[in-house]
Amino acid sequence: MKKVISLLLFSASMLFSQNNMDALEILKNEQPSATYEAFFELAKSGDVDAQTLVGEMYLDGIGVKTDYEKAFFWLSKAAQREDSQAQYLVGYMYENGLYVAKDIVSAVKWYKKAALRGDVMAQYNLALIYKDGRDGIQKNMKEAFKWLKMVEEEEEKITKIAMK
């Protein structure tokens, strides 16, 4: 247990010490297998953030071998518990047919859940899907613009926070 806590503290300090690096990029460069072990224990105990991170690690092969089935398992658990990043990634897996059958309608369902919680990538992907219309989703420029406008608003919020 002390090892898990130490690894979590190390991981957290690494995550918060970097201003512009994505958390997964940091994990790629800093003891990813040790980080996986620590977060896997937390994920098993029900921690939603750890479930999302473990799912992302399996999705991207960080600290573990890429395994879309395990990624989907962990991300689905977190997505059901309203984690917007997990919801976005479940949508991404449906959009791209990773472990699950490619299903744009299901992707849109999950992207919308994440987008309404402020996930910029989900908003952007929805804008693209509605702009082009794909596989059961009709082209709808009004809907595409709505999601793109949300991206702009979220980016403005982020910029204001960063400027403080």
Does 6 share its domain with 68?
A: yes
- The alpha-helical segments, DSSP class H, found in 2-140 are 2-17, 23-29, 32-44, 48-60, 68-80, 84-96, 104-116, 120-132
Torsional class of 46: left (φ above 0), alpha (ψ -120 to 50), beta (otherwise): left
Q: Which of 19, 50, 81 is the last residue of a domain?
A: 81
The count of structural domains within the chain is 2
CA–CA separation, 110 vs 98, rounded Å? 14
SS3 of 93, please? helix
Q: What is the pLDDT of residue 103?
A: 97
> Rounded to 5 degrees, what are φ and ψ at 35?
-65, -40
Q: Is residue 67 part of a domain?
A: yes
Q: Is residue 93 part of a domain?
A: no
Encode the chain (164 residues) as per-residue pLDDT tens digits.
333 333 444 444 444 433 334 555 655 566 666 778 888 999 999 999 999 999 999 999 988 999 999 999 999 999 999 999 999 999 999 999 999 999 999 999 999 999 999 999 999 999 999 999 998 899 999 999 999 999 988 888 888 788 87
pTM, entire model: 0.78
Q: In which domain, by residue range, is 134 found?
A: 103-164
Q: Is residue 59 part of a domain?
A: yes
Q: What is the pLDDT of residue 16?
A: 40
SS3 of 137, please? strand
